[in-house]
A and B are shown apart, each in its own frame.
Chain A
Amino acid sequence: MAARITASVFTSHVPAIGAAMDLGKSREDYWKPVFAGYDFSKQWMKDNKPDVIFLVFNDHATAFSLDMIPTFAIGTAAEFQPADEGWGPRPVPKVVGHPDLASHIAQSVIQQDFDLTIVNKMDVDHGLTVPLSLMCGELDPQKDAWPCPVIPFAVNVVQYPVPSGRRCFMLGQAIRKAVESYDEDINVHIWGTGGMSHQLQGARAGLINSEWDNAWLDQLINEPVACADTPHIDYVREAGSEGIELVMWLIARGAMSDIVDGKAQGPAPTLKHRFYHVPASNTAVGHLILENA
């Protein structure tokens, strides 16, 4: 009897997507194609409801100011409130954590030589709540709840240097090992969020490189080890300064069961869904669902 990771979900976490849902704009022509890409996913979530979601995201200057900048931070609290990012908090349910599994993962992963910051109190921003909204649909903040507990895992991709894709990929393997050593028969999904082409700053704002994004998605699915070796500068040059968020997808990919001792040598995961769309606000939206074979 042990916990296991059965699937990974990958998605962009554009703040405007949350705003579109919260302001009732999701049926407008601009947004329709974005949400259509998640119709399959919402049904899949219902049919494959996990017991816990391990959600890798980046904090956008919300829980962490420049006072403290942890490279990897795991949320071990019992609950996390949606943050006020300057517009007021999103009207979504509070996020219920899983302190027991989170603490277990923290201990195991640190013993595997990764330094995690343990966070017992933080608010969570759109990086975490938008993927949940995309996968679970619109929920009433008071009457409804997210389908299961969520362990927030924040990665610094704001202040350079940010962790390499290779290190994120190795971290994913350590997280799987940690989950598999938890003595409870539960089913865990690991989500990697953020990213795809976007640049939010300067004269180059609005950069979109669909060709590079799609080649990267192909590689993430089929040649994850090579994908993990993509240097930082390639993300910046080819996919924009904020395209660097994609390194977080490599944590989820590294946690899949075909990755053994850093190599892809088990049965490949099944691609259940793939979606790509331009634009949502300033970015390309990418989305994948992989199930372990």
Chain B
Amino acid sequence: MSLEKPYLDVPGTIIFDAEQSRKGYWLNQFCMSLMKAENRERFKADERAYLDEWSMTDEQKQAVLARDLNWCMRTGGNIYFLAKIGATDGKSFQQMAGSMTGMTETEYRDMMIQGGRSVEGNRFVGENGDAQAQNQPQGKH
């Protein structure tokens, strides 16, 4: 009997379950290492050399170097862990979340000030909301 995963049909959403966790173990552990100031300095001094100290896949390293959080998540990253990369870069959580939407920082911030993204059309894959694949990328820029 397969496991119950009712969350696979939510658009633009990767639920961090045991499968994702296994895939992203070393990527997420690398992120945890950035909670120490000395590691942040070493990472900033030579990102590639620091990443090479971890048993991450090459794709995971590429995704980190590109600061593409969606890509990081597809390879098993979790947003609470990935936030340490943003913190190292001096980014706010809003800048990090916004970076995953295809909107500019201003567009995303304005959307939030106007009440945030609507749930209408964004509950199930196949509806027509702004987070659906057929409406990507978002943003007017």
Residues of A within 8 A of B (CB): 15-16, 19, 30, 60-62, 65-67, 83-88, 158-161, 197, 199-210, 212, 232-233, 236-238, 241-242, 278-279, 281-282, 284
Could you say which residues of chain B place their CB within 8 Å of the CB of A204?
Answer: 10-13, 117, 122, 131
| Cross-interface CB contact of A201 among B37, B86, B94, B100, cutoff 8 Å | B100
**Does A86 contact B100, Cβ atoms closer than 8 Å?**
no
Rounded to whole angstroms, the CA-CA distance of A159 and B131 in the bound complex is 23
**Does A208 contact B94, Cβ atoms closer than 8 Å?**
no
Size of the B side of the interface (Cβ < 8 Å), in residues, is 62
Closest 8 CB pairs of A and B: A208-B116, A86-B87, A203-B12, A204-B12, A204-B131, A160-B17, A202-B12, A279-B112
**Does A205 contact B101, Cβ atoms closer than 8 Å?**
yes
Could you say which residues of chain B place their CB within 8 Å of the CB of A62?
Answer: 35
Number of A-B contacts (CB under 8 A): 167
**Does B87 contact A85, Cβ atoms closer than 8 Å?**
yes
B84 in the interface (beta carbon within 8 A): yes
User: Which residue, of A62, A199, A206, A237, has the highest number of chain B Cβ atoms within 10 A?
Assistant: A206
| Cross-interface CB contact of A66 among B28, B102, B115, cutoff 8 Å | B28
| Cross-interface CB contact of B101 among A197, A203, A242, cutoff 8 Å | A203
Could you say which residues of chain B place their CB within 8 Å of the CB of A86?
Answer: 34-35, 40, 83-88
**Does A238 contact B123, Cβ atoms closer than 8 Å?**
yes
Identify 6 new A-B residue pairs, CB closer than 8 A, beyond the known A205-B101, A278-B115: A19-B92, A61-B78, A66-B32, A158-B16, A207-B117, A237-B124
Could you say which residues of chain A place their CB within 8 Å of the CB of B111?
Answer: 206
Nearest to A239 among chain B residues (CB) is: B119
B31 in the interface (beta carbon within 8 A): yes
Rounded to whole angstroms, the CA-CA distance of A159 and B78 in the bound complex is 9
* Least distance between B78 CB and chain A CB atoms (Å): 7
